[in-house]
Amino acid sequence: MIKLGVNIDHIATIRNARGEYHPDPYNAAKFAIKCGADSITIHLREDRRHIKDEDLKTISLNKKIPLNLEIAANNSMVKIALQNNPNFICIVPERRKEITTEGGLNLKKNKKKIKQIVSIFNKKKIRTSLFINPNIQNIKLSKEVNANCVELHTGKISNKVKLKKKYKNELKQIIKCTKYAKSLGIEVHAGHGMDYKTAKILSQISEIKEFNIGHFIIGESIFFGLKKVLKNFKKILN
Ligand code: PXP
């Protein structure tokens, strides 16, 4: 079974637009799990533009919610992660001015730091993935820093599919990376920019074990409801 992780950052974005309490990301997390999500992803950004520390606290305290916490590779985020003990960690690059996570980690440049962080989470038995652009060098480096998993950034292929442009080269590259990662014992996930069509295309790659999808799910739920949208994704993925 391919797993579906639901990113609920944009529930918090809507809540924050009014600076009040509704819609509550915690309720969204519980409801998404009830509707068949396999895990919930939240990104605690350094500028706290959507998910807040209190959201992380309440969601992580409910052990019925398998939680994947996305964090930047720095000591203060590692400290917060350890205090909240999520089931999974995904290390992502972060730039304050970006609208969203625009690319994967620069593993070559930050190898030492990321290796040190991965080792902390490995010792705590927290499954850790690295958000990377799909290329062979990144997979090699992920192995060298002892990551359990990689999450391949699917933004490029997703954009091409949406714009009805040729995407076969991106697809080939993703397939090559997933096969290589599997041969090294690294579990492969996919995330960013996916909609029904991209999820369907990428679900044909049997090596990809988990899809993390956010913006499209929340947007589409405005029209059809979260329950229906998650049901559609579960059907597409399996
Ligand atoms: N995976 C990671 C690591 C992300 O940072 C994000 C959000 O940028 C997603 C998945 C979900 O992307 P989207 O909201 O475009 O579906």
User: pLDDT per residue over 217-234, tens digit each?
Assistant: 999 999 999 999 999 999
- Is this structure's pTM higher than 0.85? yes
* Range(s) of the domain holding residue 169: 3-237
Q: Which atom of ligand 1 is nearest to the CA of 10?
A: 14
Check if the beta carbon of residue 191 is closer than 8 Å to that of residue 151.
yes
Measured between alpha carbons, how far is 155 from 100 in angstroms, rounded to an integer? 11
Question: pLDDT tens, 13-55?
Answer: 999 999 999 999 999 999 999 999 999 999 999 999 999 999 9
Answer whether residue 63 shows pLDDT above 90.
Answer: yes
Strand partners, 152: 132, 190
Answer whether residue 100 shows pLDDT above 90.
Answer: no
Measured between alpha carbons, how far is 42 from 10 in angstroms, rounded to an integer? 9
Please report, rounded to a whole number, the percentage of residues in the chain having pLDDT higher than 70. 99
The residue contributing the CA closest to ligand 1 atom 7 is 192
The residue contributing the CA closest to ligand 1 atom 6 is 192
Other Cβ atoms less than 10 A from the Cβ of 108: the count is 9
Instruction: Give the confidence band of 98 by pLDDT, cuts at 50, 70, 90.
Output: confident
Distance 7 CA to ligand 1 centre (A): 7
Check if the beta carbon of residue 191 is closer than 8 Å to that of residue 155.
no
Please, what sign has the CA dihedral across residues 81, 51, 238, 31? positive
* Amino acid (1-letter code) at residue 117: I
Active site residues: 43, 70, 192
Provide the number of structural domains found in the chain: 1
Question: pLDDT tens, 168-209?
Answer: 999 999 999 999 999 999 999 999 999 999 999 999 999 999
Provide the b/e sequence for 96-106 (b: ≥16 CB within 10 Å).
Answer: eeeeebebbbe
Q: Which atom of ligand 1 is nearest to the CA of 194?
A: 16
Nearest to 209 by CA among 186, 193, 235: 186
The residue contributing the CA closest to ligand 1 atom 10 is 191
Distance 62 CA to ligand 1 centre (A): 23
In the numeric block, which tokens belong to residue 135?
Answer: 């290329």
Helix/strand number for the chain, H first, E second: 11, 8
The residue contributing the CA closest to ligand 1 atom 5 is 101
Measured between alpha carbons, how far is 157 from 117 in angstroms, rounded to an integer? 29
Give the pLDDT of residue 222. 97
Measured between alpha carbons, how far is 120 from 103 in angstroms, rounded to an integer? 24
Instruction: Give the confidence band of 82 by pLDDT, cuts at 50, 70, 90.
Output: very high
Residues with CB under 6 A from ligand 1: 7, 43, 70, 90, 92, 100-101, 131, 151, 191-194, 212-216
CATH number at 49 reads: 3.20.20.70
The shares of helix, strand and coil residues in the chain, as percent rounded to the nearest 5, are: 50, 15, 35
